[in-house]
Amino acid sequence: MAFDYDLFVIGGGSGGVRAARVASADGVRVALAEEDRYGGTCVIRGCVPKKLMVFASEFSSAFQDAKSYGWDIKDAKFDWVVFRDEMNAELDRLEGIYRKLLANSGVETFDLRAKLIDANTVELSDGTRKSAKTILVATGGRPVKPEISGAELGITSNDVFHLESLPKSILIIGGGYIACEFSGIMNGLGVKTTQYYRGAQILRGFDDEARGLVAEEMKQHGVELHTGTNIMELKQVDDGIWVKATNGDEQVFDQVMFATGRAPNSDGLGLEDLGIELGRNGQILVDQYSKTALDSVYAIGDVTDRVNLTPVAIREGMAFVETVFRDNPTAPDHELIPTAIFTQPEMGTVGLSEEDAAEQEPIEVYCTSFKPMKQSFAGRSDRVLMKLIVSQASRKVLGCHIVAEGAGEMIQMVGIAVKMGATKEDFDRTVAVHPTMAEELVTMKTPVRTA
């Protein structure tokens, strides 16, 4: 049977665009449908604008510290509207690049929603139908709010990049990546920032010592962080949004932001009618090659809720192309993924936390926490953390956790060594780069504890 295309991709985010481009460059006939903006969550309402906001927010402490370095800066003021418009212009530029990349690699695009009709057919929202030998679902995810009274009054990360004005005060709910990153951003931009997290400590799942330091530093920088606290009810009042918390607190905030997790965009795609299985959170269930229960339908990225990170979606897209179009079955590698949380200070992490490693085998823990030169000189009491988890048996570094300015950049490099199976002795043999914070990673001589 002749199909209109060899591959039809639904979703123009990081994963879908990469798979479409790479396949098309191989001579595969590819079409892609995107109902919203090209670039997806990462470019349009996630990583990219978030990082720009982190940069914007870091100037406040830089201006304060500049005095100690001899700079006389008067009347430094932040103008949200100027920044927001610059940021959105940058996103327009990036979206343009995404579109151009697709066009230049010969992918036919449809600015429409698509859903599956059968194993080889999609229907676009204008009613036209297209057939393809293979269909790739890469529709991403979306933020979700808890079902509580007044939840509609709160914003999510989708809305935060478009605010008319910066609020005077904000309550951020959640303790994951997004909540903690935006607490730092808002606080740095001068917004009175409160964060409620229902658990005992933010950033659940990460190394206890590292997340403990992030929490401490966030508080020291001015974020009012309440753990063991959740929100019960919201109401619009004259001077803002009234919030009742589980700890009995009642407060009014200018703005409330929910960062309470994300859900896969698997609704309304016709998946279940075709026998494609969804998991408990609505994620598309796939095998190690990203294939769904239907042989002709694959899924990658956040809609599969495996590891919800842009570079992982891209890897999954590349592995899909290898598997389906290059006759080279390739499972994406989800082991030892380095990641950074752009809190202030940043956290970079790869491999196992101390707690997870200790459950697995006997370990040595190497850890140092100190005042970094740059901030200490400016009179700050900020601390950073460098930590290695080492297997007693194999001597391999099982995990590395860094809390420091630039931790994201550092962990990318450490990630290579850890992925290669470097031992503690390999780290020790590496000469320190002086004076840096990261040099501590190669100069820690004695374990602080074994477990």
Number of residues binding to ligand NDP, judged by CB under 6 A: 24
Contact 136, 52 (CB under 8 A): no
Q: How far apart are CA 432 and CA 276, in angstroms?
A: 52
* Amino acid identity at 123: E
Burial class (CB in 10 A: 0-12, 13-18, 19+), 272: exposed
Token output for 86 = 């610059």
Q: How far apart are CA 345 and CA 339, in angstroms?
A: 14
Annotated active-site residue 434? The verdict is: yes
Which stretch, 23-31, 131-139, 194-202, 285-293, contacts ligand NDP (CB under 6 A)?
194-202
Which stretch, 132-140, 254-262, 391-399, 409-417, contacts ligand NDP (CB under 6 A)?
254-262
Residue 372, preceding peptide bond in cis (omega within 30° of 0)? no
Q: Is 230 a residue that touches ligand NDP (CB under 6 A)?
A: yes
Q: Is 412 a residue that touches ligand NDP (CB under 6 A)?
A: no
Least distance between ligand NDP and beta carbon 172 (Å)? 10
* Amino acid identity at 429: R
Which stretch, 100-108, 177-185, 208-216, 317-325, contacts ligand NDP (CB under 6 A)?
177-185
Q: Is 407 a residue that touches ligand NDP (CB under 6 A)?
A: no
Residue at shortest CB range from ligand NDP: 176
Q: How far apart are CA 313 and CA 364, in angstroms?
A: 33
For residue 359, CA distances in Å to 208, 352, 362, 397 come to 14, 10, 8, 15
Contact 87, 52 (CB under 8 A): yes
Which stretch, 221-229, 240-248, 253-261, 431-439, contacts ligand NDP (CB under 6 A)?
253-261
**Closer of 308 and 391 to ligand NDP (Cβ):** 308
Token output for 144 = 């979700």
**Closer of 30 and 48 to ligand NDP (Cβ):** 48
Least distance between ligand NDP and beta carbon 342 (Å)? 5
Which stretch, 104-112, 197-205, 370-378, 414-422, contacts ligand NDP (CB under 6 A)?
197-205
Q: Is 340 a residue that touches ligand NDP (CB under 6 A)?
A: yes
Candidates 283, 339, 349, 391; binder of ligand NDP (CB under 6 A) is 339
Q: How far apart are CA 145 and CA 158, in angstroms?
A: 12
**Closer of 259 and 286 to ligand NDP (Cβ):** 259
**Closer of 199 and 329 to ligand NDP (Cβ):** 199
Q: Is 255 a residue that touches ligand NDP (CB under 6 A)?
A: no
Token output for 381 = 């009491």
Q: How far apart are CA 312 and CA 291, in angstroms?
A: 16
Least distance between ligand NDP and beta carbon 449 (Å)? 26
Selected catalytic residue, list 221, 226, 334, 434: 434
* Amino acid identity at 362: P
Q: Which residues contact 85 (CB under 8 A, 6 or more apart)?
A: none
Contact 133, 7 (CB under 8 A): yes
Least distance between ligand NDP and beta carbon 311 (Å)? 9
- Coil/strand/helix, residue 169: strand
Q: Is 177 a residue that touches ligand NDP (CB under 6 A)?
A: yes
Q: Is 146 a residue that touches ligand NDP (CB under 6 A)?
A: yes
Contact 158, 40 (CB under 8 A): no
Candidates 57, 121, 183, 308; binder of ligand NDP (CB under 6 A) is 308
Q: Is 296 a residue that touches ligand NDP (CB under 6 A)?
A: no
Residue 69 φ then ψ, to 5°: -95, 15
**Closer of 131 and 230 to ligand NDP (Cβ):** 230
- Catalytic residue IDs: 434
What does the binding site for ligand NDP look like in residue numbers (CB under 6 A)? Answer: 146, 173-179, 181, 197-199, 204, 230, 259-262, 308-309, 339-342
